[in-house]
Amino acid sequence: MTAVNETQWAALEQHRQQIQGQHLARLFAADPERFKRLHRRLGPLLLDFSKQRLNEDTLQHLFALAEAYDLRGWIDRLFAGEPVNHTEGRPAMHWALRLPTGKTCLVDGKDVTALVQAQLERMDVLVSKIHAGQWRGATGEVITDVVNIGVGGSDLGPLMVSEALADFAADTAAPLRMHFASTMDGSQLAQLLRTLDPHATLFVISSKSFTTVDTLSNAATARQWLERSLGDCAGLLDCHFLGVSSAAGKMTEWGIAPDNQLQIWDWVGGRYSFWSAIGLPIALTVGMQGFRDLLAGAHAVDEHFREAEWAQNVPVLMALIGVWNVNVLDINALAVLPYDGRLKQLPLYLEQLEMESNGKSVRRDGTPVEHSTCPIIWGDVGPNAQHAFYQLLHQGTEAVACDFIMPARRYREQAHSVAARELLAQHELALANCLAQSRLLALGDGALDDPEALPAYQRYRGNQPSSTLLLDELTPYTLGMLIALYEHKVFVQSVLWDINPFDQWGVEMGKRIAVQTLERLRGAAVTERSDASTEGLLAFIQGNHK
């Protein structure tokens, strides 16, 4: 850490000591204009951070910290395609997947935009063919079910977005149902295969490396199921499998024909990949225009992130507020609370995006970090969470920051016209709960009439910080914006923590040890025993326990 960085961290700590006794209820009571000054608009999105435990002086200190860590330089390097993923010697160019036609991006002399657009055109052809009922199974039936087989970023992103945008389902010649299988134990796939028609099922195998054991195990099971069900049909693999990977040769070796392959690239991290052909299930759900709208929303945030000054830069503000909470206020948990059932997978998605990216303890120069890094991310759909863990948020002993996420308008789509009045009333109920819960968490007893008359167990301490992200509506465009905000927030925080957010070495060694353990489970002779716990568990599993 440089002397300049140390000075800025010290200034933040001194500032904390100056304001630490100021409860949020007191801050709102003293300043009727607090919301006006502590919220930002970005097109159809609004970020309200007036319920965070900070003031405008806090922001100035945080902006100085960003300057001390050369945040602007790091943003420029990210968008210049430099190898910001230094442990793997790669750029991180998920933003390039969102570039519109006409915007040339050259990296090492290659036109990245042309590569991306070529794959989008291939996706368009496949999606159009499937939607029109022209893609047939090996025995001539129209495809009615598509199963995405992937794990991690090849599953969580497509699943989250497909479910979130189900109201925008594309018109198809016949009903098309999307399914997802990721668990290596086969449980999801086993349940699916009991209900699917093999004659009318298409599998999409999504794996960046095409070596992930979870995915290939599920793919092998699907292949065997088809072979048992359909016999030795000509063109079985050609009719029932698509592949998405950076490893074309491995897809071909597995049996996926080149015409059935879509490409991604090494410069796309798995958890940043649904903007690429990994997002094929999304395009199959909402159509290619809906998918392009998703990309357009994210690109709008990319441009904002690159150009806006810190005081107006929404992802930068989100990131700096997170750093303030974690590193200065010592709040090491963030609850993600969407008040819209369509976003039920969003907390899981953000768990991977944030904790796999910034769950690091080694700085870029190989030395241990000197500050806490990523908080624990968790959450659920807000109304469900109210009946699960809000008790801890309101009256527990832990400080937890919260992100409330909500569309202001809903049920305007034609699909809901019959029951629109009743559904609108339910949306209003969800909105009211979202606003009320964030208010009570912030103000505590200050939100109540005559709290002194209540017994201690009915009192609320408040002062739990939160931000609210309010969308005009949940659409492909606004969802693209929302996810891009969190992606750039992760990058900004990685700069201030001096870590690499684009690798994930922490998950690799466990996979290697699992291979050795699998050999033991299957009876292979070994020269070295493992620890006593593992030996005892293996003995129990193999039926040799005494």
Amino acid at 291: F
**Packed helices 280-307 and 71-79: angle between N→C axes, nearest 10 degrees:** 140
The residue ranges of every structural domain in the chain are 3-69+308-497, 95-284, 506-544
CATH hierarchy code of domain 95-284: 3.40.50.10490
Q: Are the beta carbons of 370 and 435 closer than 8 angstroms?
A: no
Q: Would you say 138 and 122 are in contact if contact means Cβ atoms under 8 Å apart? A: no
| pLDDT of 354 above 90 | yes
pLDDT score recorded for residue 414 = 65
Report the predicted TM-score, pTM, of the whole model to 2 decimal places.
0.95
Q: What is the pLDDT at residue 527? A: 65
| pLDDT averaged over every residue in the chain | 93
Residue 146: closest CA among 177, 187, 189, 192:
177
Q: Of the candidates 323, 81, 326, which has an alpha carbon nearest to the alpha carbon of residue 315?
A: 323
pLDDT digits (tens, 9 = 90+) for 269-300: 999 999 999 999 999 999 999 999 999 999 99
Higher-scoring residue by pLDDT: 75, 3 = 75
Compute how many other C-beta atoms are within 10 angstroms of the C-beta atom of residue 234.
8
- pLDDT of 545 above 70: no
User: 254-263, 326-335, 439-448, 534-543: which has the minimum mean pLDDT?
Assistant: 534-543
In Å, what is the CA distance from 227 to each residue of 11, 216, 244, 275, 463? 67, 16, 22, 33, 60
Band the pLDDT of 546: cuts 50, 70, 90: very low
Is 3-69+308-497's fold the same as 95-284's? yes
How confident is the model over 22-56, as pLDDT tens digits? Answer: 999 999 999 999 999 999 999 999 999 999 999 99
Task: Using CA atoms of 495, 496, 498, 499 in order, give the dihedral in degrees to the nearest 10.
Answer: -60
Q: What is the pLDDT of residue 4?
A: 67
Between 6 and 197, the higher pLDDT residue: 197
pLDDT computed for residue 1 by the predictor: 62
Supply the pLDDT for residue 254.
96
Least confident of 156-160, 241-245, 443-447: 443-447
CA separation for the pair 374, 361 (Å, rounded): 10
Whether CATH 3.40.50.1000 fits 3-69+308-497: no
Q: What percent of the chain has pLDDT over 90?
A: 82
Q: How far is CA 109 from the centre of its chain?
A: 31
Catalytic residues: 356, 387, 511
> Residue 382's pLDDT is what?
95
Considering only residues 545 and 55, tell me which one the structure prediction assigns the higher pLDDT: 55
Nearest by Cα to 56 from 321, 326, 444: 321
